[in-house]
Structure formats: C-alpha cells, structure tokens
Structure 1
Amino acid sequence: MFSKFYIIVFCLFFGSLQAQTDSLKIALPKQLEQYARATDPLSPSKAAFYSAVLPGLGQFYNRSYWKIPLVYGGMGTSLYFYIDNQKAYNRARNEYKLRLRGIDQTDNPKVGRYTKDQLITVQRNAQRNRDLSLFITIGIYILNIVDANVDAHLQQFNVDEDLSFKPTLEYNPVINQNHLNLNVSYRF
C-alpha cells in the first residue's frame, strides 16, 4: 500500500511538471518576440532611415500599410503640379522671348494672345507656383520621415484597455438630484 502511494505521487508530480513545460514552450517565444519587437530602441531610427531612402518604406517597416498610399499620393500630386507649372513657365518664357525678337503673333493657343506685360505676370505666377509645389514635395518627404519615426516610437508604449475613464450619471436619493461621477480605474 505504501509503494502504491509513492507511485501515484510520483506519476502526478512528473505528469503535471510535463504539462507545465509544454505550455511554457508554446507561449514563451511569442511573448518574447513581441516584447523584443516592441522595445527595440533602434526601431525609430530604422524606420526614419528606411523612409529617407524610399518614401513609404518606414511605414511598411512599422506595419502602417494604410499610410503608404497617402505618402505617394501627396508626393505624386505635388510633383505633378511642379511639372505642370514648369511647362507653363517655359511656354510663357519662350513666348516672351519671341516677343522681344519682334514676333508678335504666334500659333501658341495658351499664351499667344497675351501682351508682353501679361506674359511677365504669367511667368512670375508659374514660377511662384512651381516653387511652392517643390516646397510642398519636400515638406511631404520630411513629414514622411517624421511620421515613420514617431509611429515607431509610439509602438513601444503599452496602449491597452487596462486604463479606463468612464463618466457616469448617478441619482442621489438623499438630496433628490443627479450627480456626474468620474471613475478612473486601472487594472493589473
């Protein structure tokens, strides 16, 4: 009877120890991998570097895939307006050069009807708009790098539902009025 007791205790002890070892082997690597990814101190600098090399690559590194079309859409739109304003500037400048040579009538439908003073104004406006488009393109490029850096920094913070703020309206029967209560709770 005494040896049966030892055998039962022995089987229970090693049986439960084996079950704990299996559950730890499965759960531990995923937790360590997520923790290592979340606390990598070089992650923001990597994301900023990737975005500087190729716009949108930092957002891909941060797994913010929905921001990539915004980056390329903004940069593409501003580059389109840069090229369009450069063409308008060149057209007006070439027409103005022709007017200075003494050729008053040209076949250019876009700027052929303007006077010399109007052509100077068209050139200035096109040049100003071209430069503005270039500054907007550079601004979107810099914003892309800053966004990748900040997004990588913010991924290191724990943002879960353990901290809650709930305003409630409660009735106080003693004074027959409603009161606004603010509950702040933190769960561990």
Structure 2
Amino acid sequence: MFIKKIIFVLFLSFFTASIFGQKDSVNVKDLKIKGDIKIEKGGVYDALAPSKAAFYSAIFPGMGQIYNKKYWKAPIVWGAMGTSIYYYLDNNKEYHRYRTAYKLRKNNLVDEFTVDGVEILSLETLERAQEQLSENRDMSLLTTVILYVLQIVEASVNAHLLQFNTDDDLSFKPTFINDPTYFEAPKVGLTIKYNF
C-alpha cells in the first residue's frame, strides 16, 4: 500500500510538472473585440513549417536542417549518410568480387585468388566471405534508410519546436538531498523545484 502511495505522488508530481512546463509563444499582432468575444488574428505560428522542413529533408537530406537555420546539422547528416552509403558500395563491390571468384572456381576456371596454380583462398573461405559481405552490405543499407528517416523526423520536430519558447528556465529539475541527521540509517528525500 505504501508503494502505491509513492507511485501516486510521483505520478501526480510529474503530471503537474508537464502542465506548467511551457507556454505557447505565439505573438498576437492584432486583437479585435466583438461584443464580449475576443478574436485573435495573426501570429508567428506557421503550421506548414514542420511540413516544409520534412519535405525539404525528403527531397535532399540536410535541406530541412538548413531550412530550420540549423546549418551545423547539415554536414552531420551528410557525413553520416555518406559514410553508410560508402560502406554499402564498398561491401557490394567486394561481395561481387568474391562471388565472381567463387563462380569461376566452381567451374574449374582460374580466378584472381589463384596465383601460379596455387589457391590462396579455399572454396569455403570464398563462401564465408560472400555471406559476411552480404550481411555487411545489408546492414549498411538498413543504416542508410534509418538515417534518412531520422533526419526527416529531426527536421520536422525541430521546425515544430522552434515555434515555441524552449528556454532553460522552463525546466523540471528533481534533486536528491541526503538527510545528515540519520547517519546510521541514511534516508534520501526528493525535492521538486519549479522554475518559471
């Protein structure tokens, strides 16, 4: 029963922290009053900005980050995707090299791993090399696809978050404080601070 109370208090404290975490920072340019109703018109919120950032990133990786004016992220995206594409192409080239040698060897022809009639690599080694290179090639392709999708999601989320006030003062900071009065049986308390 005690644990249920603790879980309830923690849940309640985290729930209330998310309620007061942040205010919408849409600036109101015009405010019209009709009778008792206030009508807000205009603002800096652009609902299409996340869609544009995602679209630009889908067309050319890194363009969504440039659209969001996070120029330093674009070379990271290009480097990560370029590295995975390089390893895909390299593993694919090596796979075809070993595959060709394996086919030639199976047909009793001379391959590149046979020097002066001596086989440098055995047939089993050629088979294992093909399997390993095929697996590496597939993992490189999967990594490239995952990085492509992640950079689209990152550009969209970043474009969405740029429209809100994400100042460090709007944070939730749990702090653990040791109780110095109980030296033999130390207790740990939890203090929750709200900064606005």
1:57 and 2:63 correspond: yes
1:184 and 2:194 correspond: yes
Contact 2:113 2:120 in 1 (8 A): no
Q: Give the structure-2-normalised TM-score.
A: 0.63
Alignment RMSD (CA, Å): 2.9
Q: Which amino acid in structure 1 is aligned with residue 124 of structure 2?
A: D
Q: Identify, as 1 or 2, the structure richer in helix.
A: 1
Shift of 1:147: 0.4
Q: Which residue of 2 is the match for residue 6 of structure 1?
A: none
1:132 and 2:148 correspond: no
Shift of 1:159: 2.1
Shift of 1:162: 5.6
- What residue ranges of structure 2 are gaps of 5+ in the alignment? 1-27, 30-41, 178-188
Q: Which residue of 2 is the match for residue 145 of structure 1?
A: 152
SS of equivalent residue, structure 1 residue 142: helix
Distance 2:191 2:125 in 1: 68
Q: How many residues align?
A: 142
Q: Which residue of 1 is the match for residue 167 of structure 2?
A: 160
Q: Which residue of 1 is the match for residue 96 of structure 2?
A: 90
Distance 1:115 1:156 in 2: 62
Distance 1:89 1:165 in 2: 52
Q: Give the structure-1-normalised TM-score.
A: 0.65
User: Which of 79, 102, 123 lines up with 1:116 in the alignment?
Assistant: 123
Q: Which residue of 2 is the match for residue 174 of structure 1?
A: none
Structure with max Cα Rg: 1
Q: Deviations over 1:13-34 (max 9, x none)?
A: xxxxxxxxxxxxxxxxxx96xx
Q: Which amino acid in structure 2 is aligned with residue 79 of structure 1?
A: I
Q: Deviations over 1:51-102 (max 9, x none)?
A: 0001100000111111111100111100110111011101101111110121
Q: Say if 1:149 and 1:124 are closer, same or farther in 2 by CA, change over 3 A.
A: same
Distance 2:114 2:74 in 1: 40
Q: Which residue of 2 is the match for residue 42 of structure 1?
A: 48
1:67 and 2:73 correspond: yes
Distance 1:48 1:116 in 2: 48
Q: Say if 1:87 and 1:181 are closer, same or farther in 2 by CA, change over 3 A.
A: closer
Distance 2:146 2:195 in 1: 42
